[in-house]
Amino acid sequence: MIKFKTIYVNIEANRPKFADKNVSRITRIGQISKKFHLDELSQIWNILKGEISFIGPRPEQTIFVEEFEREISYYNLMPLVKPRIRGWEQIHKGYLAGLE
């Protein structure tokens, strides 16, 4: 699977956090790439290969998965669906920074 990374390496090594529009963790090139959604172009190849879909679940960090499985009914079924470029939550709510 091809994916362009736009954040600094190990930026969340001490404390995992939700993705947001915080530019301090995004590289200078990443800021331009994200502004024009160029970081998503690599995903077109992954869609054509059938590895991901346009809309689907977002693979999440382990610490968040454990919490979500406790709090959200059927969250444990998420791995049965192909990952995606955009998730339902991003389309309807934008960047989310918590369980709510």
Alpha-carbon distance of 45 to 69, in angstroms, equals: 31
Query: What is the residue range of 30's domain?
Result: 23-93
53 Cβ partners below 8 Å, 6+ apart? 47, 82, 83, 84, 85
74 Cβ partners below 8 Å, 6+ apart? none
Higher pLDDT, 10 or 33: 33
Residue with tokens 């809309």: 55
Tell me whether residue 48 is in a domain.
Answer: yes
Tell me whether residue 60 is in a domain.
Answer: yes
84 pLDDT above the threshold of 70? yes
Tell me whether residue 59 is in a domain.
Answer: yes
- Number of domains present in the structure of the chain: 1
Q: What is the tens place of the pLDDT at every residue in 13-61?
A: 667 766 666 557 788 888 888 888 888 888 888 899 988 888 888 777 8
Tell me whether residue 5 is in a domain.
Answer: no
Tell me whether residue 10 is in a domain.
Answer: no
Give me the phi and psi of 48, to 5 degrees please: -60, -35
Residue type, 26: I
